[in-house]
Amino acid sequence: MSAAAYPAADTASIEPLLALMSELPKGDPARQAELFQSAKDAAALSPTTSNRLRYALALSTPGHGGSDPVAAQRQLSELLARPETLLTVERLLALVELQQVDRMLVLQAENKRLRDDESHDSRDKLLAVNRRLQTESDENAKLRKALDEARAKLDAITHIEGSIINRGAADSHTP
């Protein structure tokens, strides 16, 4: 739906939400934890639509320890299931953020699938290389054995030739 399809809305109600989404990933870890915990506590202690939306947006914001896109998706979906409880501009923000979270989850799933496929492919390649190495090692062992047998035969022939030469020399010296 285009922005023109919605009547002009007062954005003052979402300015604190946008500020939270902007500040959350920028702060040091202590500040991030403080901002996140504040949103979480407000949603738990006083579960108004605004507090629940603030917490859902904190969950959906990447770049801090409390980020949880699955929980954000669930929270945003619950809020959008009752759109009459949200101001128009809050509903738009929640909808846009839910779409962003959905895309992020799809990308994470695809990334995991690719890593798993790569891991599986690497494992298959490693097994193939190991089988080839074992085959070549077995072949080398056979060739070494054949070489040893050939050397033994050559030594035997050399020994026999030496014996024949020595016998021939001994026969020629005897009267």
* pLDDT tens digits for range 108-119: 999 988 888 877
pTM of the model: 0.62
Angle at 36 between CA 30 and CA 40, to 5 degrees: 140
Measured distance CA(147)–CA(59) in Å, rounded:
71
Percentage with pLDDT > 70 across the chain: 90
Which two structure tokens, joined as six digits, stand for 141?
């062992």
Which pLDDT does position 54 carry in this prediction?
96
**Per-residue pLDDT reduced to its tens digit, 137-166:** 788 888 888 888 888 888 888 888 888 888
Whether pLDDT at 7 is above 60: no
Angstrom distance (rounded) from CA 56 to CA 74 = 8
| pLDDT greater than 60 at residue 1 | no
Interacting residues of 130 by C-beta distance below 8 A, sequence separation 6+: none
